[in-house]
Amino acid sequence: MRLLVLLVTLLVPAMAWAEEPATNALALWGSPTVDNGACCKTLGEVRGNIDRLDREIVRLMAERGRYVHEAARFKANPAQVEAPERAEAVVKKAMALADADGLSPKVAEAAYRAMVRAFIDYEQGIFAAAAARGDAPWKK
């Protein structure tokens, strides 16, 4: 019984602390920093802007994916897809751009490493699909 009381005493405050904040409430601390302080008065406004940006990011990633698809046509075989030096250069460039634009280079690095890996896997899939339909000149 004492263990149960102890667990409830410890868990109830932790659960209350972790609850989702109201999207229409004013900020609890700090001052607005986006758009020279013009944004954002509520969490809902913040999330609306993030949703808008997410749509743009996905649109740009889709465009990038089309170019990755094109890049496959210039590679003699699937082994050329793995290009560690190129991948590292892309990540380093993203980190430098992030730093210049006020984004944490660590965030850019993590995002780009994941994205580059996903696009490498995608491009390998392009080669696999070509091989499956018999369109694999590198196998002749």
Residue 111 lies in a domain: yes
pLDDT score at 138: 77
pLDDT tens digits along 95-128: 999 999 999 999 999 999 999 999 999 999 999 9
Residue 92 lies in a domain: yes
pLDDT score at 5: 57
Instruction: Indicate the pTM of the whole model.
Output: 0.77
Residue 48 lies in a domain: yes
Which residue range is the domain that position 106 belongs to?
35-135
Burial environment of residue 119 by CB neighbours within 10 A (0 to 12, 13 to 18, 19 or more): buried
pLDDT score at 16: 56
Distance CA 72, CA 100 (A): 31
pLDDT score at 126: 93
pLDDT tens digits along 49-91: 999 999 999 999 999 999 999 999 999 999 999 999 999 999 9
Residue found by looking up tokens 């018999």 in the block: 134
CATH number, domain at 123?
1.20.59.10
Checking if the pLDDT of 47 tops 60, the result is yes
pLDDT tens digits along 11-29: 555 555 678 888 888 888 8
Tell me the one-letter amino acid at 76. A
Look at the chain and report how many structural domains it folds into: 1
Residue 60 lies in a domain: yes
- Average pLDDT of the chain is 88
Provide the 3-class DSSP secondary structure of residue 132: helix
Q: What share of the chain is helix, strand, coil (3-state, %, to 5)?
A: 75, 5, 25
Of the candidates 14, 49, 43, the one whose C-alpha atom is nearest the C-alpha of residue 29 is: 43
Residue 67 lies in a domain: yes
Residue 70 lies in a domain: yes
pLDDT tens digits along 84-99: 999 999 999 999 999 9
Residue 30 lies in a domain: no
Residue 124 lies in a domain: yes
CB atoms within 10 A of CB 91: 19
